[in-house]
Structure 1
Amino acid sequence: MDPTASPDDDRAGLARGHDFQPIIAGTIAAIVGFAGVFTVVLQGFIAVGATRQQAASGLLAICVAQALLSVLLSRRYRIPIIIAWSTPGSVLLAATGIIDGGYPAALGAFMVTGVLIIAVGLIKPFGRLVSSIPTVLANAMLAGILLGLCLAPAKAVAAEPALALPIILVWAIVGRIRKIWAVPAAVATAIIMIALHAPAGGHELPSLVPDLTFVWPALSAQSVISIAIPLFIVTMASQNLPGLAVLKINGYDPPLRPIFVGTGIASILVAPFGGHTLNLAAITAALCAGPDAHPHPSRRWIASVSGSITYVLLGLGATTAAALVTIAPPVLIQAATGLALFGAFGGSLAGAVSVPAERDAAMVTFVTAASGLSFFGIGAAFWGLVAGGALMLLNRRWRR
């Protein structure tokens, strides 16, 4: 040992000696994050009118953009800042369906959402307004959106028991052994079942080289109200706020303005290629920001870089992933999607009922968002938030 070495040098050397650990952590986090919900993302794109090629383009665009932004922010601030797609946003798209103006109108709504996220980073009063949205209502709205998809595994068993039961059994068994691998194992089983039961012929093999498909976005009042505003709210409440909490819990002080401005700009840039909102990751961030990623917090940003590289590699298989989703029996994909969303549904429902005094307002939001009703072409998610918010204001005034 060098007698002139200081304790700080020893700690730095020890930290670098563990640098293989965050590389593994980041790689695992990316695989789990991608395999767990890529079906949800593709379902969302297809639901709002994307073709198979356009859905694959959107998935690839998001993977590349979130990887580049994660690397830039993580290296700049030496913090494991993990950027991800908005899973709740994809669920919202799947529940909303095609609106007037079709797929281009949805892309225009994605761009508006990006502008709103930039505004949060640049305009402090706007940021305070967003933070004032009651958490219980945001959670209730998300839970209502998720309910239909989380019922899909049971419906799949009723419709195709031979195909759906193996997926659910694998999910249940693997979840008892290692919970984090339960959803990827279920998705892998779904892929196997699709391959085994796909009809011979009739489907052209997808190109192994993914293409970015450019579509001119359109804009309408309906797309802003039905998609952009609800997408913005669920992304902020269900992704960005939990993502910030994960970083703070692990001792980091994330830079809010660069994160929000960066994700907003990236969301605008990927929209014409089919990508929707980018935001802070929550679950995968927990894998990369905690002690399991590296004993020294100053070296955990490496996990973000390795995870970003993995996401790009996975995104290159977007065309194959989209082909699997489009040729598979719909109930099978919906079953895998529902299993992937169980955790999010449970967390949202628990958050919705966490304040007894506001529980009835949260339940109004929940059932309205889950009902699928539509007025003036505006979807149930928005009306759920309006109905619950009105009842919450009434209750508060009555109590006063």
Structure 2
Amino acid sequence: MTNSSAKTRAPLSRPIIAGVVTALVGFTSSFAVVLTGLAAVGATPGQAASGLLALSLTMGIACIVLATRYRMPITVAWSTPGAALLAATGLVEGGWPAAVGAFLVVAALILLTALVPQIGALIASIPASIAQAMLAGVLLPLCLAPVTGLALNPWGVAPVAITWLIFARLAPRWAVPFAFVAATVVVIIGVVTSGKTVDPALLIPQLEWTAPTFTLGAVIGIALPLFVVTMASQNVPGIAIMRSYGYEVPWRPAMLVTGLGTAAGAAAGGHAINLAAISAALAAAPEADPDPRRRWVAGLSTGISYVLLGGCAAASAALVLLAPPAVIPAVAGIALFAAFGSSVQQAIDDPGERIPAVVTLLVAASGVAVLGISAAFWAIVAGLLVRGVLHLGRR
């Protein structure tokens, strides 16, 4: 290296800060969605907080392992669309233990994807329009929460929505985190004015283990749609985003690490971890470091930051418990706006696939469970059936 290049080299603090920002944005922009999803499938507040902690630890360790081993800014995140799927699914036969069993099945499927290429090929055979339409249908009821919340509790939800809109214009990356800050202020004001107290024990992060059970409804209604959403909306786009910055993420090791991480966190309430998609750019882009060979430090920094943020899991869950009506669902809905818009666009982009996609979206959004199996599964079945009939006889 020449003296001139050494002088222009960015300080090492730059990728470190990029990693911290990646973790902060990832955690604050979607933890409410995770807590909402876990609670919907039967988790108590303590179990939901445990799940948030387990996810923070496992994805942090996964970031550290992958970034250090492969010297790439590989970042791992929890499955936000997967958490939204849980919120839309609700209770299944067997309750929370059955949901935990479904999380373990997802881990096994991710590991099989790494070991058996045909599994990945099977997922890839599901048309992207159908998978994205299913996700859009799952997200739609959650994205309506800010609208219904404004009618239910305008004084609590309006500050959150206004803050999001202002920062969506001025600093889009920070729009959702600052909406969460506004919600925190609303909660604190509500606690002070109402005289509510917080049990200090609720602020101590701890893991709560649940013995899994396995039911057909949970496997088909939670595990399979969660696996499809995680692969189609997180892992595959994550690989593509990293490739756009010149990094070829090793597919099999990445699936092995995230599969093992999902398995390790499942009994503590973690639903799934995967390659980061949208937030991946924060650590992999030139803004993290002009030298692509040093951006792996951002991945390492992201992992360490996630582990440290895990200490906030219990406090985050307590914040949700203390929140006035409609405030936290509004934050969760706002956090999903971008994902909803993207999934709708991809679902109806091809005119030839539009009708099957619309049917898939509507069935998923209906929330109707048949035979104890969630609407997300039936949405894929309905979409593929309609598509098969409409494409019958075509090349």
TM category (shorter chain) comes to over 0.9
* CA gap 1:193/1:121 in 2 versus in 1, 3 angstroms: same
Counterpart-to-counterpart distance in 1, 2:207 and 2:70: 31
Question: Is the alpha carbon distance of 1:375 and 1:74 closer, same or farther for their aligned partners in structure 2, counting shifts above 3 Å?
Answer: same
- Tell me the CA shift for residue 360 of structure 1: 0.2
Kindly provide the CA deviation profile for residues 225-271 of structure 1, in whole angstroms up to 9, marking residues without a partner as x: 01000000000000001100111010111100000111111111110
Give the letter for the 1:212 counterpart.
L
Q: Which of residues 91, 111, 122 in structure 1 aligns to 2:104?
A: 111
Contact 1:366–1:384, Cα closer than 8 Å, also in 2: yes
Match of 1:194 in 2: 187
**Cα offset, 1:223, TM superposition:** 0.7
Q: Distance in 1 between matches of 2:325 and 2:304?
A: 31
Measured against aligned partners, the alpha-carbon deviations of 1:283-308 in whole angstroms (never above 9, x if no partner) come to 11111111111111111111111111
Instruction: Write the distance in 1 (CA, Å) between the matches of 2:64 and 2:344.
Output: 33
Alpha-carbon shift at residue 18 of structure 1 (Å): 2.9
- Aligned AA (2:11): H
Mean Cα deviation higher: 202-211 or 155-164: 202-211
2:344 is the counterpart of 1:349: yes
The residue number in structure 2 matching 1:290 is 285
Find the aligned partners of 2:251 and 2:290 in 1 and give their Cα distance: 25
1:306 equivalent among 298, 301, 305: 301
State the distance in 2 between where 1:208 and 1:230 align.
33
State the superposition RMSD in angstroms.
1.4
How far 1:56 sits from its partner (Å)? 0.9
What stretches of structure 1 move > 6 A for 4+ residues in a row? none
- Name the structure 2 match of 1:3: none
Aligned length: 393
The one-letter amino acid paired with 2:342 is G
Q: For 2:249 and 2:150, how far apart are their aligned partners in 1?
A: 44
Match for residue 131 of structure 1 among 115, 120, 124: 124
Cα offsets for 1:43-95 (capped at 9, x unmatched):
11111111111111111111111111111111111111101100011001111
Cα displacement (A) at 1:121: 0.8
- TM-score, L = length of structure 2: 0.97
SS in 1 for 2:326: helix
Q: Which residue of 1 aligns with 2:264?
A: 269
**Distance of 2:307 and 2:318 partners within structure 1:** 18
Aligned to 1:27: 20
Partner Cα distance (1:127, 1:110) in 2: 18
Q: CA deviation at 1:328?
A: 1.5
Q: 1:208 to 1:360 in 2, by over 3 A?
A: same
Select 1:329's aligned residue among 320, 324, 333: 324
* 1:43 alignment partner, one of 27, 30, 36: 36
Matched, 1:89 2:82: yes
Q: In the alignment, does 2:172 pair up with 1:179? A: yes
Once residues 279 and 396 of structure 1 are traced to their aligned partners in structure 2, the CA distance between those partners, rounded to angstroms, is 33
Distance in 2 separating the partners of 1:184 and 1:398: 50
Secondary structure of residue in 2 paired with 1:273: coil
SS, match of residue 373 in structure 1: coil
In the other structure, the counterpart of 1:365 is: 360
Q: 2:241 aligns with which of 232, 246, 261?
A: 246
**Can you give the 5+ residue segments of structure 1 that lack an aligned partner in the other structure?**
1-5
Q: 1:125–1:104: structure 2 CA closer, same or farther, 3 Å change rule? A: same
In the alignment, is the contact (CA less than 8 A) between 1:206 and 1:320 conserved in 2? no
Amino acid of the structure 1 residue aligned with 2:145: A
User: In the alignment, what sits opposite 1:338?
Assistant: 333
TM-score scaled by structure 1? 0.95
Distance 1:74 1:67 in 2: 11
Shift of 1:394: 1.2
Cα pair 1:15 1:296 within 8 Å, conserved: no
Structure 1 segment 139-154 matched on structure 2, within 5 A: 139-154=132-147
Q: What CA distance in whole angstroms lies between the structure 2 residues aligned with 1:110 and 1:54?
A: 14
> Which residue of structure 1 aligns with residue 113 of structure 2?
120
| Matching residue of 1:224 | 219
**Aligned residues: percent identity?**
47
Structure 2 counterpart of 1:52, from 35, 45, 60: 45
Distance 1:124 1:164 in 2: 46
Instruction: Tell me by how many angstroms 1:208 deviates.
Output: 3.5
1:80 counterpart SS class: coil
In 2, Cα distance between the equivalents of 1:202 and 1:275? 28
